[in-house]
Amino acid sequence: MNVSNTIDTANVRIRELWMAGLGAVSQIQDQSESTFNSLIQDGKKLQKKTANKIEKQTDSVRKDVGNRYDTIKSSVSKRIDSLGNVFENRVASVLARFDIPTAVDVKQLTLRVEALNKQVKAIKARKS
């Protein structure tokens, strides 16, 4: 084997290695683009799945908060009504102790005065 053949063989081998390297880079680029696109699709799927889970949990929390609000509102309303009754009873008790007429007493008295006025007018009309 001569030096020229050895150099030619080495040059061919170097070119083949260079081409193999370029081929590897090309395959990696093709695969990386394909892998990148695949990752994008997987990310979109995960985002939808996560959004659905979050929406379901949000709906559940809204319902729970709504139920708790209704329960608290009902309880507070009952307590306010109860306090209102207690207050009314105490005021009525104080008014009765001081012999102060209630609204019902005043209304009844007004009706009696109106009835007496009618009777007085009727008596006057008979005398005239």
Q: Encode burial over 48-86: b for 16+ CB neighbours within 10 A, e otherwise.
A: eeeeeeeeeeeeeeeeeeeeeeeeeeeeeeeeeeeeeee
Does the pTM exceed 0.75?
Answer: no
Dihedrals phi, psi of 102, to nearest 5 degrees: -90, 175
What average pLDDT does the chain have? Answer: 86
Q: State yes or no: pLDDT of 27 exceeds 90.
A: no
CB 101 within 8 Å of CB 109: yes
pLDDT of residue 41: 92
Tens digits of residue pLDDT in 61-119: 899 888 998 898 888 888 888 888 888 888 878 878 888 888 888 899 999 999 999 99
